[in-house]
Amino acid sequence: MEKIAFLGLGNMGCGMAACLLKAGFDMTVYNRTAERCDELVKQGAKTANTPREAVRGAKVVFSMVADNEASRAIWLGDDGALAGAEPGAMLIECSTLSKDWVEQLSDLARQRGVSYIDAPVTGLPDDAAAGRLGLFVGADKNDLDNARKYLMPVAGQIIHFGDVGAGTAFKLIINLMGAVQIAAAAEGLVMAEAAGLDMDQVVGAIGDGQAASPQVVRNTQRMVAGRHGSDIIFTGNLRLKDALYGVRLAGGLGVSSDFGVLAADCFQALEYAGEGDLNECKVIDVMRRKSG
């Protein structure tokens, strides 16, 4: 069996790694909080104490972490994955990171003689566990062709947007759009509350109407139900991070992102209130406070 390494076992990474194990790969896993490895060990994975140790002898290395800071901690330094990556290995970064860091990391990988693919994912933890994530890929075509057999166990769809960085650019664009949609939905619900409308009826009508999107439908349901602290799928802090990376990308491209900035400000207010670790739907209370 070919050896692969998986770095980062959050809500998404655990499901992805389990799918790769089921596909028959010999896997070593690493996570900063070691207890997150326990369930995968029961399924046949090995654990490592450092990213460098985890990637030793691996043909393919997956990473799925929260942000640039966590990515740098995984890849860089004496104990980082780049220091231990074998020449000729393939690095697959599935995290949602800033485009400038992805391009820098790709250059560092090339200097080590390893190939690099950015493949940020779309989907929920249930999709990760079922192997039906969408992958937005930036990579050399030959590298992607070589990677497909490793990507297929986790992917329901693979879209190749171009060279390294292109997949990340698209992911940041749609996540910034998602931030705008969620903030606008929260504003609309606060208006509906002020108008005295039946909120269950409002949510049902939104889901059946032209303003519906998966983001809007899921979050309006949670907003009205007040499900901010249970079954946390995507936190306000993660939405803020993605929005800020998206705004940075727009600025680098010379594109105005006025709506994105406003949405990011709403999620920033959630963080300032100490509520950023709750579900992103908690942003409705930012709108309520603004209107109070």
Active site residues: 171
Kindly report the backbone phi and psi dihedral angles of residue 276, in degrees, each rounded to the nearest multiple of 5, phi listed first.
Answer: -70, -20
From CA 197, how far away is CA 125, in angstroms rounded? Answer: 33
3-state secondary structure at position 12: helix
Here the tokens at position 79 are: 């104990």
Inter-CA distances, 275 with 175, 177, 238, 269, 271, Å: 20, 22, 12, 9, 6
From CA 229, how far away is CA 115, in angstroms rounded? Answer: 40
From CA 185, how far away is CA 224, in angstroms rounded? Answer: 11
Inter-CA distances, 195 with 17, 36, 185, 190, 282, Å: 47, 46, 15, 9, 21
Strand bridging mode 3-7 / 26-30: parallel
Helical (H) or strand (E) element with 106: helix 99-111
For every residue of 179-248, DSSP letters joined together read HHHHHHHHHHHHHHHHTT--HHHHHHHHHHSTT--HHHHHHHHHHHHT-SSSS-SSBHHHHHHHHHHHHH
From CA 149, how far away is CA 24, in angstroms rounded? Answer: 11
